[in-house]
Structure 1
Amino acid sequence: MSDHVTEAYNQQCLDGNTGLLNAMARAEFPPLFHASCGHRLLPRPFFIDEGPMRAFADDIRSVFDLLTQLPDRLFGGDLGAYCTALGIPDRQAALMRRFAGGEPVPYGRADIYHDGTSFKLLEFNVGSELGGADRAEIQRALLGVPEFRSFAEAHRLGYVHTGERIAAALRAAAAPLTGGAEPVVALVEGDGGLAPYLHLVRSFQEMMQRLGIDLRIGEVGGIREKDGRLLLDGTPVDVVLRYFSAAQTVRTPGGEEAVEPILRAHEEGRVVLFTTFQSSLFANKGCLALLSDERGRGAFTAAEVELIDRVLPWTRELTPALVEHCRQNRERLIVKPRADFAGSGIHVGWELSDRDWATVLQESAGGGFIAQERVVPRREPVVSPDTGRTEDWMAAWDVFLTPDGYAGSHIRALPYGAGAVVGMGANPACRTTGPFLVPA
């Protein structure tokens, strides 16, 4: 179904429908969104069957539940042993374990590839430090272009707006404090951490304010206490949307002391921290290796094992004992650090010589890396407004998750063959777009 819609869209572009061909360029985006990524938009959105996408989102929610149960299932509830197995340093582990008594908020973003048959999970960013939520404005803006709206209506296209789902989650989290009134939300980064991402954060703020959320931006050092309330720029705050991480906190001199007022206010019910450091216990890529490893299969039901194998490619902790297997399977494997993000520290086997790959494996084994089976993404044909020709792209999709379930998706894409890591910061050729859902 979605392939048919893609073919119809591209054919109309090739047949001279300039309204569709130039829809992305003609769309009226919010000013800060346009300033942030308007120059990196793909010419068209992508299309995906709604049923399989929602089913995969349900699978992601089930994987989230399995991740949060790993300490109990594999380590007898011993969080210390769990953190040691994942290589989490003691000071970081202490922050993460502080709120480990309850259930973590089901909030995160799963990064996925479509291999032509189904989606596969590559990474799961569990917690509130997420990028890409503002890209739902792409679909909203495209529907303002008459030619695109006509196409969308003809094919009954829909989408899930990530910002709307996040706004609902923040309102629900704040309700015990606000009694249902609109909350004041402070998006708080670590000290010195805002500058590189300020254009992204301001675009997110712009979207949330349009949705009725009074979202303020600041860093940990800008939070003050007065009369029992936390304040940012003199305004009392109901929710702290945490963009500072445990690792960032312990790297910063005096970091634990600086975040203590926020943590204490959350413990005392004076503010809602969305989410706590507990989420970071399950954001480590080593968690996926624990799920995938055959040695832990006895802790899961047959249905859970089937889910893991269906959703997750072969993923293992890179140990010295695994080096020879990985050496022999260079063209099928990628090596990633357990704790880094944004595509940093990745080694791609099929792009390296046998000698260089062997060196990577020797230097990485036992050093906090995972090995993961290569997922070859399907080709996504896009008609270029500049050349009028169809070009193939490779896409990294995602699934946003909130307490209400599937919260939309956005896409990062590279020209096919332009690299192995599809990340906006990792490759200047990377572009972004949004998907529309095609009903059955």
Structure 2
Amino acid sequence: MRLLSRGYVDECLNGNEGLRDAVARAGLPPAFDTAWRRHLLPRPWFVRAAEIRAFARDLEGLFELLVSLPERLFDGDHGRYAAELGIAPRHAALLRRSADGSPAKLGRADAYHDGGGYRLLEFNLGSEVGGLDMAVCNEALLGVGEFADFAAAHGLGHVDTAALLAEDLRERARPALPGGGREPVIGLVEGNGAVGPYGRLMRAFQEAMAAQGLDLRIGEVGQLRTRADGKLTLDGAPLDLVLRNFGASQLLDDPAGPEVAEELFRAHEAGRTVLFTSLESGLYAHKNALGLLSDPRWTGAFDAAERALVDRVLPWSRPLGGAGGAGLLDECRERREQLILKPGGGHGGLDTFVGWECTDAEWREALDGAAGRGGYLVQERVVPRSEPVHDPASGTSDEWIAALGVFLTSHGYAGAHARANRVDGGAIVGMSSNPDTRMACVFSHP
């Protein structure tokens, strides 16, 4: 896609002011504008349509492998499986409490393109993943005449993630709508105290769902109440579905969390208010699950085609502090410049150590601490290819790299977005860790 990106930048440099300022001029909906405008890259990211769809098919296969791990490797013993990942027993019990045997296929895979193909960095599963509303930006850009002309000339297209998710929500809410005949009322529910810091993002998503015809109410778990008939309410409004925007750790950190969780589970089991997604997703979103897929101890559990899939998609990844022992730790110390260390249950790049950005002493300390605590994944560095981006403010172009977020729903591939940094801006480990990271919508080229 470098050739298309170069063509886009050249048009900007050669005086196409409408294309140059397309992102700034795009008529974004108000809540999305407030949440994301200042974080947007000055242009969208481009991908090859066939390549991104092939990668998404591989991700679907990888999803099936992940959810089969307890059965394949631990004879169906989820307790042993969770212990291998480094999940504490109380945490694991909460994740299993809402399990219904069929984890929802909803998530976002973060990947780099290394010039030869996409390589998976992590696979975030569950309804709390971010960026599900980013296609709003695609639609806004297509409303800018100069960009619309560029898109038409190059056959650009995109997938509306929000539209596909809305279909899933309607389908999932159906058991709580006996007789049907109306749209579901959905609660987008965060942990207690979390609407404050995340409210602007939640309101942007609410806005995107409203555009799909869905009534979505924002609240926190402590605001939920149970009616006499077992249905949950939020500020008095009966909810047909709770769209979970919190993790199990938030419930465990909250003294009232376990009691609230039981109300959610009971309403779901009674078919009065559907919980989507279940906390069970956290068993497979844990980064150490990826380590089990590539750990040589478990090679015999996968057939040749499955091993080929893992090798094609996943860089070298190992759980640290488990059965790998001192030999793995020594190898990781020696390979500092080729490795990154991540907490298996972390998010947003927090508590992540980038080996090639650490000193030897910092890296050794990080490894020793992670090995002692357990629950960490060490992964081989993927060097992403760069693409040019024009900066309207300076009038110059620089090289940028992007981590692509590829969405899956029950429909399969459900679109993508990108988080981008300048090539000299360091690894892309999360916007909370690097305020210079920018978001971009993604267009595919045939």
Residue of structure 2 in register with 1:419 after alignment: 426
Residue of structure 2 in register with 1:183 after alignment: 184
Letter matched to residue 92 of structure 2: A
* SS of match in other structure, 1:419: coil
Residue of structure 2 in register with 1:408 after alignment: 415
Aligned residues: 438
Alignment of 1:361-440 (within 5 A): 361-367=367-373, 368-439=375-446
CA contact (8 A) 2:186 2:240 kept: yes
Q: Which moved more, 1:414-423 or 1:367-376?
A: 414-423
CA distance in structure 2 between the partners assigned to 1:430 and 1:143 by the alignment:
24
Q: CA RMSD for the aligned pairs?
A: 1.2
CA contact (8 A) 2:404 2:418 kept: yes
Shift of 1:202: 0.7
- Pick from 249, 252, 260 the counterpart of residue 251 of structure 2: 249
CA contact (8 A) 1:315 1:373 kept: yes
CA distance in structure 2 between the partners assigned to 1:160 and 1:174 by the alignment:
23
- The verdict on how the C-alpha distance between 1:383 and 1:358 changes in structure 2, with shifts beyond 3 A counting, is same
Q: Can you list the C-alpha shifts for 1:143-174, whole angstroms capped at 9, x where unaligned?
A: 00001001111111100011111111101111
Please state if 1:10 is matched with 2:16: no
* SS of match in other structure, 1:409: strand
Shift of 1:177: 2.7
CA distance in structure 2 between the partners assigned to 1:296 and 1:382 by the alignment:
43
CA distance in structure 1 between the partners assigned to 2:342 and 2:103 by the alignment:
25
Q: Can you list the C-alpha shifts for 1:209-257, whole angstroms capped at 9, x where unaligned?
A: 1111100000111111224221111111111001121111111113111
Shift of 1:75: 0.4
* SS of match in other structure, 1:357: helix
- Pick from 255, 262, 280 the counterpart of residue 282 of structure 2: 280
Residue of structure 2 in register with 1:173 after alignment: 172
CA distance in structure 2 between the partners assigned to 1:267 and 1:325 by the alignment:
47
CA contact (8 A) 2:175 2:274 kept: no
CA contact (8 A) 1:397 1:409 kept: yes
CA contact (8 A) 1:190 1:248 kept: yes
| Deviating 4+ runs (over 6 angstroms) | none
Shift of 1:100: 3.1
CA distance in structure 2 between the partners assigned to 1:291 and 1:233 by the alignment:
44
* SS of match in other structure, 2:147: helix
Shift of 1:420: 1.6
* SS of match in other structure, 1:121: strand
Letter matched to residue 272 of structure 1: V
Residue of structure 1 in register with 2:343 after alignment: 337
Q: Which moved more, 1:306-315 or 1:176-185?
A: 176-185
* SS of match in other structure, 1:174: helix
Alignment of 1:87-102 (within 5 A): 87-102=86-101
* SS of match in other structure, 1:165: helix
- Pick from 338, 343, 353 the counterpart of residue 359 of structure 2: 353
Structure-2-length-normalised TM-score? 0.96
* SS of match in other structure, 1:399: strand
Residue of structure 2 in register with 1:81 after alignment: 80
CA distance in structure 2 between the partners assigned to 1:357 and 1:99 by the alignment:
38
CA distance in structure 2 between the partners assigned to 1:365 and 1:426 by the alignment:
23
CA distance in structure 2 between the partners assigned to 1:366 and 1:373 by the alignment:
21
Letter matched to residue 129 of structure 2: L
* SS of match in other structure, 1:408: strand
Q: Can you list the C-alpha shifts for 1:84-126, whole angstroms capped at 9, x where unaligned?
A: 1112112211111123342111111111111111111111111
Shift of 1:332: 0.3
Percent identity between the aligned chains?
A: 51
Alignment of 1:241-320 (within 5 A): 241-319=243-321, 320=325
CA distance in structure 1 between the partners assigned to 2:444 and 2:404 by the alignment:
13
Q: Can you list the C-alpha shifts for 1:306-350, whole angstroms capped at 9, x where unaligned?
A: 000110010001134211101111110011111111000111111
CA distance in structure 1 between the partners assigned to 2:282 and 2:329 by the alignment:
28
* SS of match in other structure, 1:371: strand
Shift of 1:27: 0.5
Residue of structure 2 in register with 1:220 after alignment: 221
CA contact (8 A) 2:419 2:428 kept: no
CA distance in structure 2 between the partners assigned to 1:192 and 1:234 by the alignment:
20
Letter matched to residue 330 of structure 1: R
Shift of 1:137: 1.0
CA distance in structure 2 between the partners assigned to 1:47 and 1:405 by the alignment:
20
CA contact (8 A) 1:185 1:240 kept: yes
CA contact (8 A) 2:53 2:413 kept: yes
Q: Which moved more, 1:218-227 or 1:156-165?
A: 218-227
Please state if 1:144 is matched with 2:143: yes
CA distance in structure 1 between the partners assigned to 2:435 and 2:17 by the alignment:
27
* SS of match in other structure, 2:392: coil
* Structure 2 residue runs without a partner (length 5+): none
CA contact (8 A) 1:185 1:239 kept: yes
Letter matched to residue 329 of structure 1: R
* SS of match in other structure, 1:350: helix
Q: Can you list the C-alpha shifts for 1:360-380, whole angstroms capped at 9, x where unaligned?
A: 222221422111000111112
Shift of 1:428: 1.3
Shift of 1:180: 5.5
Residue of structure 2 in register with 1:122 after alignment: 121
Shift of 1:383: 1.1
Residue of structure 2 in register with 1:207 after alignment: 208
CA contact (8 A) 1:318 1:366 kept: no
CA contact (8 A) 2:340 2:380 kept: yes
Q: Which moved more, 1:173-182 or 1:287-296?
A: 173-182
Letter matched to residue 61 of structure 1: E
CA distance in structure 2 between the partners assigned to 1:382 and 1:76 by the alignment:
50
CA contact (8 A) 1:50 1:438 kept: yes
CA distance in structure 1 between the partners assigned to 2:8 and 2:299 by the alignment:
45
